[in-house]
Copies of this chain bind each other. A is one copy, B any other.
């Protein structure tokens, strides 16, 4: 039994509240247990220099944590004057994952900024961010389509993410912070709704893991991600 009484292959209670913010074109509040992330998608009518005149749009992401979101207060990156490596790694992951699922040619000359801000962190903030950012992104794209600013809804597949890991040699789905901080193996998977992989990041924290472990972890992740797609469909009616 896990610390929060879950079975090894159970997700934490997941909730997605669409339209959480008033100003951005798309937004949601996503919760994986105690992990709570505000995700938003804002449309900017220009592209970065390297894409000017390329007939393509761009999707980029930024990630942040409120100082009081963590068990021990985290120093504010704005006051520290730079973002940590972990922050940059996560925002690059979110951006890449979303760009992979969207036809960038269909949003030519626009940049969509995805902001994922962690209000409360209890493990899995990057997978909750990916899962929520996809919802915010779809809402913004739907808004653009409804406003006649793009011709079609340019999402090629659904995207969600979950963490899996090995703890005391047991394979667990959707680790909370307590589990994550002592896991032997920690893995994040971003997948599409046709069962393919967009990103896989697996790290042995103490002990290397075998190919068999990897296979089992991927199957476990897919089991969880399929449930996330169900939740996304509920808050994105008519889109998938």
Contact = CB atoms under 8 A, between A and B. Distances in A.
Contacts of A203: 96, 198-199
Interface stretch (A6-14, A80-88, A124-132): A80-88
Nearest to A93: B203
B82 A78 contact: yes
A83 B44 CA distance: 23
A202 B208 contact: no
Interface string A197-239: 1111111111111110010001000000000000000000000
A34 interface: yes
A79 B60 CA distance: 13
A179 interface: no
23 contacts: A21-B119, A22-B120, A23-B68, A23-B71, A24-B68, A24-B73, A27-B68, A38-B66, A40-B68, A42-B68, A62-B79, A67-B117, A68-B115, A73-B113, A73-B115, A85-B91, A96-B205, A197-B211, A198-B203, A199-B204, A200-B200, A201-B201, A201-B202
Given A85-B91, A211-B218, 13 more contacts: A21-B68, A66-B117, A76-B78, A77-B78, A78-B78, A88-B88, A96-B203, A96-B205, A100-B207, A192-B208, A195-B210, A199-B202, A201-B201
Interface of A: 21-24, 27, 34, 38, 40, 42, 44, 62, 64, 66-73, 76-89, 91-92, 96, 100, 113, 115, 117, 119-120, 122, 157, 191-192, 194-211, 214, 218
